[in-house]
Chain A
C-alpha cells in the first residue's frame, strides 16, 4: 500500500475522481485561469515544462514572465536563459519586473555544450530557474534533464517549435500556445501530471504586465 500511497502523492498515479489532491510542488504562474488547470496550481518545480509555439510573439514568454519576475526578486541565484532566437530586450523585460541582474544569458550553439550547461545549472545549486529555446532534443537527454530537475527541485522551461508536438516527450508538463488575439491565447495542455490532456483553455496574456496584481 505504501508504494501506492507514494505514487499517488507524487502525482504519478492518480484517480479521475480526486486528481486535484495530488501534491505536486508548483508555483503560481500569475494567470489564474491557467493555475486552475495546472497540477499543484502553477508551474511545476522540479520538472521540465515544454512550451510549444509557432513563432515568437505568441505569448510563449509572456506566459512565463510573471512567475520569472517574481522569482528574480528573491535570492541571489541566476536565472539562466539559453539560446533565445532573438535578442532579449532589457527595457521590455524590466517592465515586467524582471530583475535583470539575476538574468544570465548564455549562447550554447553546440548541442552537447547546451546539455552540459543545462545540467550544471540544475545540479550546482547556483540557479533558480532555467529557460531554454531548443529545437531537437532526444529522449535520453530529456530524461537526464527531467531527473536533474526533479532531484534539485528546479523549474526548467523548454521553448520549442510547434512541430515537435506529436513526438513523445518525457517532459512532465507540455503546453501548446496558439494565439487568438494579441493579448489572448488558447492553450492546449498536451500532457500534465495527475490529469488528462485539455484543449482550448483560454488565457488572457496582456502585452504589458498587470501592475496591480504583480507589483501592487
Chain B
C-alpha cells in the first residue's frame, strides 16, 4: 500500500514578537532581543529599514530611530504556540509541536474528510488569518521536507509527490538544516544545492561526513514525525502580561476579552462548557485581586462571559494598578443539547439560568440564595439558605409547618400582656443530646391590637418572651 501521509509545516517567524506586542502590524519598528544582545525577531517595519533577525543590537539601533523593544520570552512563545495548535486542532487531528515556532501537521489522513487538499488548506488558512499571526507554510512528503520548504519560503501546497520532491532540489546546502561544518565542507566541494547532494552515492558521503549527515538526508526522504504530539491540556490556565499598567477596572475589559477568546477556542476544541472562571489580577505590592465568575449551566461564548465579568469589574475598585491577568477554568461540563419544546424557540430553563448568572455576577455569590427546609425542629434552624449557584440539582424534600412566613434576624424581647394570644402553647423541645444548651420553648400565635399585626411569640424556659416570627 502506498504511503498516503502528507505533511504540512507551518512556521511562525514572528511568534514571540506578536505574542508580546499583539498581532496588529505596527508602523513602529519592534524588536525582540535575546540574551546574547542580538535581534531574535523583528516586525515588518523594522525589516523594511534593514534589520534582520540575528543582527547585533548595536547595528540594529544604528538603522532605527524610533523603536519598541522587549526581551525574548521563550515561555510566552511556547504558550502561544500551544494556543495556535489549539486553534488548528479543530481542523486537523494530528498536530505536532516543533519548538520554538513551528507546527507540523499530518494532513494526509484528513484529506478524505475534507475531500481534497484545497478545502483543508482553506479551513486552516481561515483560522490562521483570524489569529493574525504571521505564518509561512509548505507541504512535503516527509515532515522534515515540509519544514525545510516552509522555512525557506517555498509555499508549496500540493499533494503531488513528485513536485514535493523536486521542490527541495534548488534549496541551498546551508539552508537544509545540516550541521554548519558539514554544510561548509559540502559547499567547498562545489555542492551548492540539495539536488547536488541527492545525486551523490550515500555510502561515499557517509564515509566522508559520518552518520549525522546521512541521518539528516534520509529524514528528508523517508517519512518520519517531528516534534511531540499536541494534546489538549486538561485545564485552561492562561496569563496575560499587560503592556501598560491598568489603573481602572474598565480598561481591563479589552485584555480580558483576549483571554476569553482563547477560552472559547479551548472550550470549542474540547466540546465542553465551563461553569466557573477564576480571574486573578496581579498588582505590584498588594495581594492579587481574585474574582470568581459563574455561569449557571455553563457557557462557552466569550461574549457571554465578558458580560458577566463586566458586571463584576464595574463594581470593582482596584487597590493598585493591575500588571497581569490570570484566567483559570478547571471545572467543565459536557455540552448538553438544548432541551425545550421542539417547535418553539423558548428554553425556559436556559432563560432562568441566564438570569441567575446575571444576578450572581452583579450582586455577588452570597447575596442570591435559594431556600430549603431542614429537619431541625427549632424554628431558627428550620430554614437553610444556599447560594443559588451551589444548589443541588435534585429536588429537596419540603417540610411544611404551620409557622410564620418571616422570622426576625435577631431576638426581640416582648411583653406578652400587650398581645392577645390566639392559640398555643405549642411546645418545641430538643433533647440535651442534640445540643449543649437545652432547648424548650412554647410558641403562641398572637395578635397585637395596637400595632395590628399577627405574630408568633416564644416563651422561653426562664420565663421571658420573644418575638419569633411574623405571619406576613
| A interface residues (Cβ-Cβ under 8 A, vs B) | 54-62, 65, 75-78, 80, 84-96, 99-101, 103-108, 113, 116-117, 120-121, 124-127, 178-183, 207-208
Can you list, as one digit per residue, whether each of B350-386 has a CB less than 8 Å from chain A (1) or not (0)?
A: 0111111011001100011111111000010011110
Supplied contacts A78-B356, A94-B373, A101-B391, 18 more A-B pairs, CB within 8 Å: A57-B472, A58-B453, A75-B348, A89-B403, A89-B407, A90-B374, A91-B379, A91-B401, A92-B405, A95-B400, A100-B396, A101-B396, A104-B359, A107-B368, A108-B363, A179-B452, A179-B454, A182-B422
A89 and B383 within 8 A (CB): yes
Give the distance in Å from the alpha carbon of A76 to the alpha carbon of B370 in the complex.
14
Q: What are 17 A-B residue pairs whose CB atoms fall within 8 Å in the complex?
A: A57-B404, A57-B470, A58-B452, A65-B472, A78-B352, A78-B356, A91-B382, A92-B469, A94-B373, A94-B398, A103-B371, A104-B356, A105-B368, A105-B371, A108-B367, A121-B355, A207-B454
With beta carbons under 8 angstroms apart, the residue of A56, A100, A127, A208 that contacts B355 is: A127
Could you count the A-B residue pairs with CB atoms below 8 Å apart for me: how many are there? 189
On chain B, the residues within 8 Å of A182 by CB distance are 422, 445, 447, 454, 471
**What chain A residues lie within 8 Å of B112 (beta carbons)?**
none
Q: Please, how many angstroms separate the alpha-carbon atoms of A207 and B445 in the complex?
A: 9
Contacts of A62 in B (CB 8 A): 405, 471-472
The 3 A-B residue pairs whose C-beta atoms are closest, nearest first, are A126-B355, A61-B472, A57-B453
When the two chains form their complex, are residues A76 and B349 in contact, meaning their CB atoms are under 8 A apart?
yes
Among B356, B368, B400, B407: residue with most chain A CB under 10 A: B400
Q: Say if the beta carbon of B63 comes within 8 Å of chain A.
A: no
Q: Is B171 part of the contact surface with A, judged by Cβ < 8 Å?
A: no
Give the distance to chain B from A79, nearest Cβ to Cβ, in Å: 10
A124 CA / B391 CA spacing, docked (Å): 21
Using known A-B contacts A57-B472, A75-B348, determine if residue A117 contacts B383 with beta carbons closer than 8 Å.
no
Among B352, B368, B385, B447, the one with the most A-chain Cβ atoms within 10 Å of its Cβ is B352
Residue A106 contacts which of B359, B399, B400 (CB distance < 8 angstroms)? B359
Measured between alpha carbons, how far is A53 from B353 in the docked complex, in Å?
33
Do A89 and B351 touch across chains, with their CB atoms under 8 A apart? no
Question: CA A106 – CA B353 in complex, angstroms?
Answer: 15
Known: A100-B396, A182-B445, A207-B454. A56 touches B472 (CB 8 A): yes
Complex contact B453–A55 (CB within 8 A) = yes
| B371 in contact with A88 (CB, 8 Å) | yes
- Within 8 Å by CB of A91, from B355, B359, B368, B400, lies B400
Known contacts A57-B472, A106-B363, A124-B354: does B402 contact A85 (CB below 8 Å)? Answer: no
Once A75-B348, A86-B409, A120-B355 are accepted as A-B contacts, the answer to whether A56 and B453 lie under 8 Å apart by CB is: yes
Nearest-CB residue, chain A, relative to B447 = A182
A59 touches B404 (CB 8 A): no
Tell me if A124 and B358 are in contact (CB < 8 A).
yes
Does B395 make an interface contact (CB < 8 A)? yes
| Cβ 8 A contact of A57, one of B362, B403, B422, B454 | B454
Answer whether residue B130 sits at the interface, using C-beta atoms and an 8 A cutoff: no
Asked if B110 is an interface residue, CB under 8 A from chain A, the answer is no
A76 and B452 in contact, given A86-B406, A91-B399 (Cβ under 8 angstroms): no
Q: Residue B388 at the A interface, CB < 8 A?
A: yes
The interface size of chain B toward A, counting residues with CB under 8 Å, comes to: 54
Q: With A107-B363, A116-B362 in contact, do A90 and B382 touch (Cβ < 8 Å)? A: yes
Question: Which parts of B402-423 form the interface with A (CB within 8 Å)?
Answer: 402-409, 422
Chain A residues whose CB sits within 8 angstroms of the CB of B455 once the complex forms:
57
Partner of A101, one of B370, B407, B472: B370
Contacts A89-B379, A95-B402, A106-B359; A100 near B372 (Cβ below 8 A): yes
Tell me whether A88 and B349 are in contact (CB under 8 A).
no
Within the complex, what minimum Cβ distance (angstroms) separates B366 from chain A? 8
Q: Which residues of A contact B408 (CB under 8 A)?
A: 86-87
Q: Is the Cβ of B472 less than 8 Å from the Cβ of A105?
A: no
- Distance of A116 Cα from B314 Cα, bound (Å): 13
Residues of chain A within 8 A (CB-CB) of B404 are: 57, 89, 92
Among candidates B353, B405, B447, residue contacting A126 with C-beta atoms closer than 8 Å? B353
User: In the complex the two chains form, what is the Cα distance from A71 to B346 in whole Å?
Assistant: 19
Please, how many angstroms separate the alpha-carbon atoms of A81 and B447 in the complex?
A: 26
With A and B bound together, what is the CA distance between A100 and B392 in angstroms? 13
Q: How far is the CA of A58 from the CA of B453 in the complex (A)?
A: 5
* Most central of A78, A89, A179 by chain B CB within 10 Å: A89
Q: A62-B405, A100-B373, A108-B367 are in contact. Are A55 and B351 (CB under 8 A)?
A: no
Neighbouring A residues of B399 by C-beta, 8 Å? 91, 94
* A76–B393 alpha-carbon span in the complex (Å): 13
- Chain A's nearest CB lies how many Å from the CB of B376? 10
A99 to B373, CA, bound (A): 11
The docked-state distance in angstroms from the alpha carbon of A55 to that of B472 is: 9
Please indicate the chain B residues that have their CB under 8 angstroms from the CB of A54 in the complex.
451-453
Partner of A77, one of B352, B445, B470: B352
* Contact partners of A77 in chain B: CB under 8 A: 348, 351-352
Which residues in A have their C-beta under 8 angstroms from that of B351? 77, 124-126
Find out whether the CB atom of B368 lies under 8 angstroms from the CB atom of A106: yes
Q: Is the CB of A126 within 8 A of B453?
A: no
